[in-house]
Copies of this chain bind each other. A is one copy, B any other.
Amino acid sequence: MRSFSSLLLAGLLAASATTTAAQATAKADSVVIRKIYDEALLRGQSYDNLRYLCQKIGGRLAGSPQAALAVQWGKLTMEKANCFDKVYLQECMVPHWVRGAKEKGQIIGNKGKSITAAVCALGGSVATPGSKPLRAGVVEVKSLAELKALPDDAVRGKFIFFNRPFDDRLIEPGAAYGAAGDQRRSGPAEAGRRGAVGALVRSLTAARDNNPHTGATNYGDTPTKVPGAALSTQAADQLSQLLAADPKLQFELEMSCQQLPDEKSYNVVGEIKGSKYPDQVITVGGHLDSWDLAQGAHDDGTGVVQSIEALRLLKAAGLRPERTVRAVLFMNEENGTRGGEKYAELAKQNHETHLAAIESDGGGFTPRGFNVETTPAVFQKVAAWKPLLAPYLAGQLTPGHAGTDIEPLAASVKPVALFGYDCDSQRYFDLHHSVLDTFEQVNRRELELGGASMASLIYLLGKYGL
């Protein structure tokens, strides 16, 4: 019989051997991850790819000719990246909404004096009816509930002006966006339901400037669809002030946007077959479509180029993932999520096993880490990778929403974990869905660091599973 102290010693030695092996593994992983970052920072291709997508193709709303071009570009760019075993398209039908040539807003004072108000149609909005501008009085509310509480005759025939601003006290502007977003999404539907002629919605941004921010509005099953427009925050403030002084002022809106028949479009998929577990799939993606007002740089050109780049980085670092990895450029995130749904549907149809999905759709700013949707036990496992990512500013692993395009996967093939690339968020909603979302707003290093952090996560997922 061994003595207690010899047992203790044996235990200590075993523990120390384990520690040493773990340390060696961590060291080996850190060498691999360093290689990935070196490639990204010295020879990264995200920035040049993004320049092309933004400046040569530009805004690419689902169903538009630009979106069709972007599909071709995505396929070619993947093929040129020379790291995929196969590159293919997944067909899906997408909504096709066009802005039209007319888009004008004016505040009309009681002496008929007009002031231009910067507006843009909300995505999916109907046009103003007839051939003349739509003119009506304005009722300002701060919430859907406030509209609900108004008597019918206060609402009928008016524009409902939803003017609840971002709550600037929230440290994450994404939380402020979430809290103000119902005005844009449901404001026009609710206004129509109550007999108003239209909805004017304060732009969903903390910026104080004259750029209106578009974004999807949903009529749902509203029988009466009335036009919905976003006002720049400056125009909203001005309208609010003028209304306070003159509650009888009128607003004149003219928009010629329209919903056309659905169009055929595609997700673009590039796949590297896993060397050891080819049946376990890891997906990484961003959305290829964007709003039409600008170049869709941070939303979501950056996610698109980072997703392609993540796999190129693995190859360039001499790695062949043990699990199958797919870069997916999703179509139609902005106004339908048809691409995300199609990807999830096909995954289920093909009885695929999905280990994890990663989405980058919060801009291409300096990394912070990843939001993770999974069980507490798996989260523990993922959290152990933090020391490997922290030296690259990407060590913040937080339970939280991963992304809109990979959400349908959770319902169909149930990946073990979903990851949302998380980066500095202060500037994102200043640009989001507005003319400002251009290539110039993206910083090369910030962008390339993001692609490398996604590649590093894929490397760890591919090696260790979940």
Interface residue stretch chosen among A111-119, A167-175, A320-328: A167-175
Q: Which residues of B contact A207 (CB under 8 A)?
A: 444
Q: Quote the shortest CB–CB distance from A234 to chain B (angstroms).
A: 14
- Assess whether A41 is interfacial by the CB under 8 Å rule: yes
A208 to B, closest residue via Cβ = B444
Instruction: Identify which of A73-81, A282-290, A348-356, A422-430 touches chain B.
Output: A422-430
Query: Are B42 and A169 within 8 A (Cβ)?
Result: yes
Contacts of A168 in B (CB 8 A): 41-42, 445
Chain B residue at minimal CB-CB distance from A173 = B445
- Within the assembled complex, what's the spacing in Å between the Cα atoms of A449 and B449? 24
1/0 per position for A229-270, CB-CB distance to B under 8 A? 000000000000000000000000000000000000000000
Q: Which of B37, B171, B393, B427 contacts A443 (CB 8 A)?
A: B427
| Cα of A391 to Cα of B207 in the assembled complex, Å | 22
Q: Is A197 an interface residue (CB 8 A)?
A: no
Report if A392 contacts B (CB, 8 A).
yes
A407 at the interface (CB under 8 A from B): no
Is there a chain B Cβ closer than 8 Å to A38's Cβ? Answer: yes
Chain B hits for A173, CB < 8 A: 445
A37 touches B169 (CB 8 A): yes
List B contacts of A280 (CB < 8 A): none
Partner of A424 from B38, B208, B424 at Cβ < 8 Å: B424
Chain A stretch 120-173: residues in CB contact (< 8 A) with chain B: 168-169, 171, 173
Over the window 37-52 of chain A, the binary record of Cβ atoms lying under 8 Å from chain B Cβ atoms (1 yes, 0 no) is 1100110000000000
> Are B427's CB and A171's CB within 8 A?
no
CA distance A60 to B168 in the complex (A): 32
CB-based contact B42/A171 at 8 Å: no
Is A331 in the interface zone, CB < 8 Å from B?
A: no
On chain B, the residues within 8 Å of A208 by CB distance are: 444
Residue contact B366 to A424, C-beta cutoff 8 Å: yes
Task: Please name the residue on chain B nearest to A393 by beta carbon.
Answer: B171
Most buried by B among A207, A424, A449: A424
* A67, CB-defined interface residue at 8 Å: no
CA distance A168 to B444 in the complex (A): 11
Ordered by A's residue number, 23 sampled pairs between the chains whose C-beta atoms are within 8 Å are: A37-B169, A37-B171, A38-B169, A41-B169, A42-B169, A168-B445, A171-B391, A171-B392, A171-B393, A173-B445, A206-B444, A206-B445, A207-B444, A208-B444, A366-B366, A366-B424, A366-B426, A424-B424, A426-B443, A426-B446, A427-B443, A427-B446, A430-B443
